[in-house]
A and B are shown apart, each in its own frame.
Chain A
Amino acid sequence: GQQVMQIPQYQHVQEGEDFTTYCNSSTTLSNIQWYKQRPGGHPVFLIQLVKSGEVKKQKRLTFQFGEAKKNSSLHITATQTTDVGTYFCAATGGNKLVFGAGTILRVKS
């Protein structure tokens, strides 16, 4: 079945540093979604990317979808302590979502 690889598994940054998580697939994706899960919380939808080469921004968060629609990234500029949590990418497969393993972000103030 469809698999989505996400790296890194874990990242610990100093507050104010940038952070990036990457999502890769061996097959072409119809779209990709990103979710954030705060510690002790549940995944919450952030955004969906559909078009080849698409770039979307939400304040300090920048989401990209690769030209071949096989990879995606989430970049956070100048991290804040409120950014801590686990970030998941998820690819649509039929009427299901296939999630990456997630990247845990810790921010040291």
Chain B
Amino acid sequence: DADVTQTPRNRITKTGKRIMLECSQTKGHDRMYWYRQDPGLGLRLIYYSFDVKDINKGEISDGYSVSRQAQAKFSLSLESAIPNQTALYFCATKGPTDTQYFGPGTRLTVL
């Protein structure tokens, strides 16, 4: 959905580097989510935020941190990247209904 954007779209980095993935949305939604997708495992929730002051851990938050800079922006950081964090990362938003709207994804490779 063009209303949810992610940068970068692809990133290759080395073990131990700090990486930030950014997500922006123009949908005006309060709730934002970060997922990672691995083959055969579906989408797993890393962190989610209900508003700027409300950040919550998901099922796989270890090794990740987030920042909700504004209603429209939600960033995911890997403080010290490791190879098993190689995955496809999606940001999503949720409005008043239960539907989630996903960004185009960031493909991260950690060497």
Contact = CB atoms under 8 A, between A and B. Distances in A.
Interface of A: 1, 6, 9, 31, 33, 41-45, 48, 88, 90, 92, 95-102
Interface residues of B, number: 25
B98 A48 contact: yes
Chain B contact residues: helix, strand, loop or mixed = strand
Interface of B: 1, 31, 33, 35, 40-45, 48, 50, 58-59, 90, 94, 97-105
Contact of B43 (A43, A92, A95): A43
A1 B45 CA distance: 12
B99 A43 contact: no
Given A41-B104, A44-B102, A45-B99, 4 more contacts: A33-B99, A42-B1, A95-B31, A97-B45
A102 B42 contact: yes
